[in-house]
Amino acid sequence: MCLDYYGIDEETKNYLDLANKIFTWIFLYEMLMKQIAIGMSKYLGDSMNWLDGFIVLTSTFELLSSMLGIGFGGGLSTLRVLRTLRVLRMLRLMRALKSMQVIIGVVMSSYKSFMYITILMILFIFIMALLGL
pLDDT of res. 71: 59
Q: What is the architecture of the domain spanning 1-96?
A: Up-down Bundle (1.20)
pLDDT of res. 67: 77
Mean local confidence (pLDDT), 6-19: 87
What predicted TM-score, i.e. pTM, was given to this entire model? 0.58
DSSP single-letter state for residue 100: H
Q: Say if residues 49 and 71 touch (Cβ distance below 8 Å).
A: no
pLDDT of res. 123: 95
Q: Which residues contact 100 (CB under 8 A, 6 or more apart)?
A: 93, 94
One-letter amino acid at 77 equals S
Could you read off the pLDDT of 30-73 as tens digits, one per residue? 999 999 999 999 988 987 788 888 888 888 888 887 777 765 54
Q: Say if residues 37 and 9 touch (Cβ distance below 8 Å).
A: no
Could you read off the pLDDT of 69-123 as tens digits, one per residue? 765 545 555 666 666 666 666 766 777 777 878 887 888 888 778 888 889 999 9
Q: Say if residues 64 and 99 touch (Cβ distance below 8 Å).
A: no
CA distances (Å), origin 95, targets 34, 81, 85, 87, 101: 18, 25, 17, 14, 7
**Euclidean distance between CA atoms 11 and 88, whole angstroms:** 28
pLDDT of res. 89: 67
